[in-house]
Structure 1
Amino acid sequence: MLHEILLALSGHPSPLLKNDYSAPGSASVLSPPERDLLRTAGHLSDLHCNLLGYTAQISASHSSVICRAVSTAISSIHLGAFQKKVLQVEDSILRKDAALVGAYDIVPLTAVISEFSGWTRRLEWLWDLVQFMYREDKDAPCPAAKLIDKLRSELQTGYADIHETALSLVRVAETAWLKQVSAWVLYGRIPVLGDKDFFVRRSEAGGQAYLIEPSLLPSFVTPSTAASMLFIGSSLNRVRTRGGIDPSDTGLGHLPSQLQELSKLAFPLNSATFSRSITSIRLTLSRTVLQKLLPLAKVLEMLKILREFFLLGRGEFAMALTQQADEKIRSRWRRADNIAYQKRDGLGTVVVKDGEVAAVLARTWAALGSMQGQHADEDEALELARDLLQLSLSKSQPVPPTSDNNDDGQRTASSIASTPFRNLLFSVPVVLTLQILSPLDIFLSPSDLQIYTSVNSYLLSIHRAHLRLTDLWKITSLRRHHPPPPRPPYGGTRGGIARTKLLRDRWATRSSTMRSTWSTSSAAIFFLSETEAYLQVEIVEGLWDGFYSWITGNDESSGPKPNHPSVSQKMLAAHISNPLQNATSAFPPASQTPQQSPRPHSHDPQTLATAHRLYLRTLVRRLLLTQPSFTDPLYELLVHVDRLAALVHRLHGVWTAVDLDTDEGVVDAFSNLDAEEADVRAGLRDVEAKVKRGIADVVDVLRSLSVDTAFLASLEDGLDGRGADDADDGAGTGTDDVDDEEGRYVPRRVGGVDRLLMKLDFGGWFDGGSPVPERRGRGREGFVCEWGV
């Protein structure tokens, strides 16, 4: 019987230990203590047999290399130790060791079972672990990340034997996982074995884009460390597959130092130590290979393109694009009006097509070239933008994720309000996009470009509304007497006097009709100009100056120093002290001019990309693009402004037709000008009220935002160089602990809703009080005109 028990404990199932000794017929054979001892031996035998069978199956067929390694370690190390223990007990019995063998060669069953008392809890824990790894569902095998997390959590059970067992398995699992990571961060290759269990995957978009599967990452890997690993592997893969680079400069020359960096890691892996090692590898790669693959000059060149054309740094581009788009829409409507009524097909004749949108951008480049004159070909930024920028109809499809490295950019893009500002340029969704060429896709991602596109549509729609209202003052016949009274000698005759009286009565009537329109337009222009100045000068320009200064090494994130006045302050002081003095004397001499192009700092590409995403996140929040409560009423206001400008142009056309009918006898038999004029004037009164109410609504929203503590707190997020998500895990801006804290990008504190409110909240116009007071004066032509403040 003793021999049978030892064989069963060695992994051979025995019917002796499977019998039910609690049955009535077996009560006289064994005593209750003996039955309990046999039950304990049977339990250990079953655990050992099951562990042997399941670990063999996992080691042979599991899809995860880490799970295979852990299963093999359980079988070879821990089950081997249990088998060795069985052999030791058997050897002690055969040697008649007094610890087990008593008088008359009697071996107490209690002594034998007590030798295995420390193994019950350990084998039960191993059985639970094997069941965790083994899943019959082949479509959802146990991922290595969850296994590593479970083993690391089991280190805190409080049992010394379980702690030692878990620690040995953690070493095995993390060693196998680190080998997979080494293949990626040292060679840029996804491991062949266990690639489905690796946290890096090739993007479905194809090409050289990779993404991170967060569910396959162990918990000790911070998001910034994962971003660094993705960046390192993607860069090495790009270097390996890119032609024109010396093979000796592919980073393999630094493998000994990088391998030594990884070999210093102790198990279980510490999050901070692992992050420092990965960051050290990233910085080494950036200093050697990536400086040739992606020089800082290319990054600065692309950032300037984005600033000038997407953030409206070049005002002439926004103005030319708006003018060309309006001209295209007007030409389509004129073409529709010229078609015979029987041949018209609803509104299909005025639907904007993708080719026409692209043609508008082409004419915009031509207009910009004509502004530059003979030096147009010397503008390298304009030529590069001409090759990269595209204006196209929006398909309203979200940008697919490309990497976990850009997860912050995706969150920022998704936080932007869905207000359709892109509909205002062509009355259909149209966006300005850019081709991201290699190797700039290391730095710039599709979600970053999506943010730029949204900001561009937002800023361009405000600028377009401002231009459309100011263009109303170019309609000369609405601002002054047109045509003018007849000149002498005919003006002194009876017919001339009657003609003069007719024209003055006509002008007085029309002037009275347009008075409220000019007043409303003036107030709307004031609102749009102050809002646009706040967004463009204080927010966009302020953040850009800080970000560009950080890149070039002239970081002034704390803002201008009070002891150093700006150029405009110097010019103003010089003009006040001596008005006749040339304003250029306020500028310092050439020898005292500060360096305008300081030597750029050697920021690595990932640090630049992380800082750029923080810059975009701050920009979007400061522009109030994340507040639908603000963007929705602003969009409605811009639509009403559009309608106001359209009705003024329509009224001008009606009055022109009336003048031709009255003065020249040109009659349009197919139109009722009086009814059309009454309809337009009623529409003007209605849209004027909507514009006033729209401005009041927007200002009310700004007032509520200025006292909203949650909104004000969100504006401060990121001004310490870290976002809310980064602050939770201590990852910083993705540069980890190796990067110097002094060189971290911190966005400037710019703007403030209160500053905009102080400019907009004037008088009692917005509170429903008396309208803006009107003034009478003389325009440049010498005729009396009226306008609102």
Structure 2
Amino acid sequence: MLHEILLSLSGHPSPLLRSALPSSTNTTATTTFSSSSSTAISPPERALLASLARLSDLHVHLQTSSSHIAASHPSAICRAVASAIDTLHLAAFRRKVVDVERTVLTEDAALVGAYRIVPLTAVVAEFEGWGRRLEWLGRVVDLVVVKGEEGKGEACACTGAAAIDFLRGELLTGYRDVEELARGLVAVAEAAWVKQVAAWVLYGRVPGFGEGDFFVKRRGRVDGDGEEGEGNAAAEEYGCEPGLLPGFVTPATAASMLFIGRSLNQIRTKSVEDYNLRGSDHLSTQLTRLAELRHPIDSAAFARTIADIRQFLSRTTLQRLLPLSKVLETLQLLRDFFLLGRGEFAMALTQQADEKIRSRWKRMENLAYEGREGLGNVTVKEGEVAAVLAKTWAAMGSMQGEHADEDEGLEVARELLRLTIAKSKVSTPGPHSAEGGLTAIATTPFRNLLFSIPVVMTMRIPSPLDLFLSQLDLQTYTAINSYLLSLRRANIRLTDLWKITSLRRHHPAPPGPPYGSTRGGREKVHLFRQRHAARSSILRNAWATASAAIFFLGEMEGYLQTEVVAGLSDGFHRWLTTGEDEQRHEHGTSKQIQTSATPHPADTDEPPDDDIWLAESTPPQPPSLSAPAGQTHPHHDPQTLATAHRLYLRTLVYRLLLAQQSFTAPLYELLVQIDHLVALVRRLHSVWTAADLEADAGVVDAFVDLEREERDVQREIRGVEGRVKRGIEGLVGELRRLEGLGGLQSGAAEMGEQRGEGAEDGEGLGIGESGKYVPRRVGGIDRLLMKLDFGSWFGRDGRGGDEIDLDDTS
């Protein structure tokens, strides 16, 4: 019987022990009690054998399950845990069985009594404590075992990250023996996970085995334009799956690991010569750093290790691969063309786009009336949109004359920028992403205004600029560009109305002699003047409304461009070149900072006695001149650049009011009504021109009723005037509402921006940390509202000729 017990505990099922189990727990029994066994085993012995039978069944179950997991589980971490359970803990249990057997065979007095009697209670006591251990190991195995779903061929398996988190949580059960078991398995699981991480952060390779369980996922091949592609021109794109990360890995550390692997993968796949800089010294030293991690891994220690690897890579390889001059050139390109730093680009693009639309409609008007069913021909095609951008570059080159070939920024933009019709899959950046959080951008379709179809400005991101500039950042720039360009376009189209001299101001001179001195000549001149006086009276309200809209748009553009975009861009450029934004405390910016309820202590410094007008007009100096004497250029690794750049974009979106749907929606409606007003005024001008030809030269169009069309257009102009006025009034009211909430919302948002709160990249960008990027406190809606004073215009009913005096700008 004793021999049967020891064999059963070693993993060989025994009918003797199985028959001792109660019916409720004997789930694997295949035999039943016989009359002889029931009489040979007394009830007390059966109770003692039940505990040993439980150990035997647990041992067999753990052996079978762990072997199955180690052979077939898709997770390398779970396989390592299962192998450790079998080779370490079950092996220790089997050694315990062998020790008990040795004690019995050597007739040790610790277990064998007089007359070579071995008490069953003593044998059971030798395995005291192993029941709780094996039961806990059974819980671990049940957690990671692969279970097939009923009716499906797929299998549900525990991930390595979930196994690590479960084992780390079991360290706090309160049982010392369970804690020791959990600590050993945690070390095994974390070591297996660190090996996978080492393959990624040291070689830029996704682990060959267990790829589905690794937190880095291939997103396909993406070319420089952000579209999926194949071939050598397309590079592998990788993303992070947060659900596959252990709990001790922070989002910032995950972003660092993703960046390191992507950088190494890009260097390796594109055969960059700087790849040779990553020699054996890099691999050995950094692998040693990973091997020195103690288990369970401390979150802060792991973050420091990854940060050291990232900085080492940046110093040895990426510093040459992505120099600061290349970063500054790219940011200047984005500033000039996406943020409309070069005003001539927005003007040329708007003019070329309007010319394209007018040419399409003229082509339709020249068709025979019976052939006008196909209005689909008016829709602009992809090739025509690209041709508009090409004409824009040509127009900008003609503006510069013989010095056009010296503009390097224009040549780079001509090569990288694209104007395309937006695809349906393109979406506005949301508040969260795998690489970092971005402020949610309002879904207002400003991109529909340029061509009446969704058209966006994009850029091909060449290597190695994609180390710090992501497609999500580019989508944010695209949304900002559509927003700013729509404002500039509306202003340009309204001011172009003043170029129609015959419509705005016309005083016909008397005919030449001798007809001019006759009575008929004088009557004709009198008739002309009466006609134009009546038309001027008809359009007086339209001119007043257009002037008010120009005033509103001009002040909005001035605020957004000079206060927000220029201030934030200059601050970010200065941080890149000097490491600190020293102009934050100068005269112009200090006034804005003092408006905050909790000013920074450094903000109370006295402004310098320099000529502020000279400082405003002086262009930014090169980094070597702007940095203090003896100070070297700061070294920003690409991930630090990317993190600071995302913070810069978040602040820019917030300060441009592009995240306020309650503001952008009525603004879009106002821009649509402004387009309608411009189109109606131009249409009325064409109707009056045709009427003059009919009355003065006898040119008659039999297909058009000019008087009826004139009445209809005038009626529509009256309606559009009211909608434009109400739109401006509503936007000013919304600005006042936002300004009233600004004391609570903007203060909290600014502090969140400066500390990096709410962002998954979480670098902890604080005010007091030296070298960290802190956005300037720019803008202030109150400054804009001080300029948007329309007097009593909003209080009138919109009728009458003396309601506003803005038409005197003619």
**TM-score normalized by structure 2?**
0.88
State the SS of the aligned residue for 1:345: coil
- Over the matched positions of the two proteins, sequence identity in percent amounts to 58
Q: Match of 2:685? A: 652
Distance 1:558 1:148, change over 3 A: farther
Matched, 1:595 2:628: no
Is the CA contact (8 Å cut-off) linking 1:251 and 1:285 kept in structure 2? no
Q: Match of 1:78? A: 89
Is the CA contact (8 Å cut-off) linking 1:222 and 1:731 kept in structure 2? no
What runs of 5+ residues in structure 2 fail to find an aligned partner?
A: 23-32, 149-153, 223-234, 588-605
Distance 1:236 1:245, change over 3 A: same
Is the CA contact (8 Å cut-off) linking 2:549 and 2:728 kept in structure 1? yes
CA distance in 1, matches of 2:389, 2:610: 35
Q: Match of 2:779? A: 751
Which of 264, 284, 287 in structure 2 is aligned with 1:259?
A: 287
State the SS of the aligned residue for 1:204: strand
CA distance in 2, matches of 1:310, 1:487: 54
Shift of 1:483: 2.9
Q: Which amino acid aligns with 2:756?
A: R
Is the CA contact (8 Å cut-off) linking 1:310 and 1:453 kept in structure 2? yes
Deviation string 1:712-746 (CA, Å, 9 cap, x unpaired) is 3564254324131459xx6436x9xxx99311111
CA distance in 1, matches of 2:201, 2:92: 36
Q: Match of 1:125? A: 136
Is the CA contact (8 Å cut-off) linking 1:637 and 1:695 kept in structure 2? yes
Q: Match of 1:526? A: 551
Which of 586, 600, 610 in structure 2 is aligned with 1:561?
A: 586
Q: Match of 1:629? A: 662
1:739-778 superposed matches below 5 A? 741-766=769-794, 774=802
Deviation string 1:418-465 (CA, Å, 9 cap, x unpaired) is 111111001111111111111111121111111111111110001000
CA distance in 2, matches of 1:644, 1:401: 32
Q: Match of 1:732? A: 764
Shift of 1:107: 2.0
CA distance in 2, matches of 1:509, 1:322: 33
Q: Match of 2:260? A: 232
Distance 1:147 1:558, change over 3 A: farther
Is the CA contact (8 Å cut-off) linking 1:719 and 1:748 kept in structure 2? no
Q: Match of 1:580? A: none
Distance 1:484 1:643, change over 3 A: farther
Matched, 1:39 2:41: no
Which of 589, 613, 623 in structure 2 is aligned with 1:570?
A: 613
State the SS of the aligned residue for 1:367: helix
Shift of 1:691: 0.3
**RMSD (CA atoms):** 3.1
CA distance in 1, matches of 2:795, 2:279: 67
Is the CA contact (8 Å cut-off) linking 2:420 and 2:457 kept in structure 1? yes
Shift of 1:596: 4.5
CA distance in 1, matches of 2:677, 2:651: 34
Shift of 1:136: 2.4
1:425-504 superposed matches below 5 A? 425-486=450-511, 491-504=516-529
CA distance in 1, matches of 2:128, 2:804: 105
Deviation string 1:16-55 (CA, Å, 9 cap, x unpaired) is 0111577896776544432221111110100001111111
Matched, 1:329 2:362: no
Distance 1:243 1:104, change over 3 A: closer
Matched, 1:189 2:232: no
Q: Match of 1:574? A: none
State the SS of the aligned residue for 1:618: helix
State the SS of the aligned residue for 1:211: strand
Matched, 1:135 2:151: no
1:213-252 superposed matches below 5 A? 213-245=241-273, 248-252=276-280
Shift of 1:479: 2.1
CA distance in 1, matches of 2:335, 2:609: 22
Is the CA contact (8 Å cut-off) linking 1:523 and 1:788 kept in structure 2? no
Deviation string 1:509-549 (CA, Å, 9 cap, x unpaired) is 11211111111111111111111111111111111111111
CA distance in 2, matches of 1:285, 1:74: 38
Distance 1:664 1:686, change over 3 A: same
State the SS of the aligned residue for 2:236: coil
Q: Which amino acid aligns with 1:510?
A: R
State the SS of the aligned residue for 2:157: coil
Is the CA contact (8 Å cut-off) linking 1:171 and 1:268 kept in structure 2? yes
Q: Match of 1:720? A: 754
CA distance in 1, matches of 2:256, 2:286: 15
State the SS of the aligned residue for 1:390: strand
Is the CA contact (8 Å cut-off) linking 2:537 and 2:801 kept in structure 1? no
CA distance in 1, matches of 2:807, 2:208: 78
Q: Match of 1:578? A: none
Single out whichever of 259-268 and 174-183 deviates more from structure 2: 259-268
Which of 645, 656, 676 in structure 2 is aligned with 1:612?
A: 645
Is the CA contact (8 Å cut-off) linking 1:557 and 1:746 kept in structure 2? no
1:105-116 superposed matches below 5 A? 105-116=116-127
Distance 1:500 1:247, change over 3 A: closer
Shift of 1:77: 0.8
Is the CA contact (8 Å cut-off) linking 1:773 and 1:788 kept in structure 2? no
Distance 1:597 1:674, change over 3 A: farther
Deviation string 1:134-190 (CA, Å, 9 cap, x unpaired) is 112354322111111111111111111110000001111111111111111112222
Q: Match of 2:18? A: 18
Deviation string 1:451-504 (CA, Å, 9 cap, x unpaired) is 111111110001000111111111111222243344777655423332232123
CA distance in 2, matches of 1:257, 1:24: 68
Shift of 1:10: 1.2
Is the CA contact (8 Å cut-off) linking 1:552 and 1:601 kept in structure 2? yes
Shift of 1:310: 0.6
Distance 1:588 1:499, change over 3 A: closer
Aligned length: 758
State the SS of the aligned residue for 2:305: helix
Shift of 1:786: 4.7
Which of 344, 347, 353 in structure 1 is aligned with 2:375?
A: 347
Shift of 1:248: 3.5
Is the CA contact (8 Å cut-off) linking 1:431 and 1:453 kept in structure 2? yes
CA distance in 1, matches of 2:468, 2:175: 49
Q: Which amino acid aligns with 1:555?
A: E
Q: Which amino acid aligns with 1:389?
A: L
Shift of 1:238: 1.8
CA distance in 2, matches of 1:520, 1:689: 9
State the SS of the aligned residue for 1:763: coil
Q: Which amino acid aligns with 1:114?
A: A
Single out whichever of 508-517 and 558-567 deviates more from structure 2: 558-567
Q: Which amino acid aligns with 1:497?
A: R
Is the CA contact (8 Å cut-off) linking 1:240 and 1:250 kept in structure 2? no
Is the CA contact (8 Å cut-off) linking 1:190 and 1:200 kept in structure 2? yes
Which of 30, 54, 72 in structure 2 is aligned with 1:61?
A: 72
State the SS of the aligned residue for 1:416: coil
Distance 1:457 1:21, change over 3 A: closer
Q: Match of 1:338? A: 366
Distance 1:400 1:317, change over 3 A: closer
CA distance in 2, matches of 1:502, 1:768: 33
Q: Which amino acid aligns with 1:398?
A: V
**TM-score normalized by structure 1?**
0.90
What runs of 5+ residues in structure 1 fail to find an aligned partner?
A: 572-583, 778-784
CA distance in 2, matches of 1:243, 1:127: 49
Q: Which amino acid aligns with 2:664?
A: T
CA distance in 2, matches of 1:382, 1:464: 21
Shift of 1:364: 0.5
Is the CA contact (8 Å cut-off) linking 2:647 and 2:753 kept in structure 1? no
Q: Match of 1:272? A: 300
Is the CA contact (8 Å cut-off) linking 2:78 and 2:189 kept in structure 1? yes
Is the CA contact (8 Å cut-off) linking 1:618 and 1:718 kept in structure 2? no
CA distance in 2, matches of 1:643, 1:484: 33
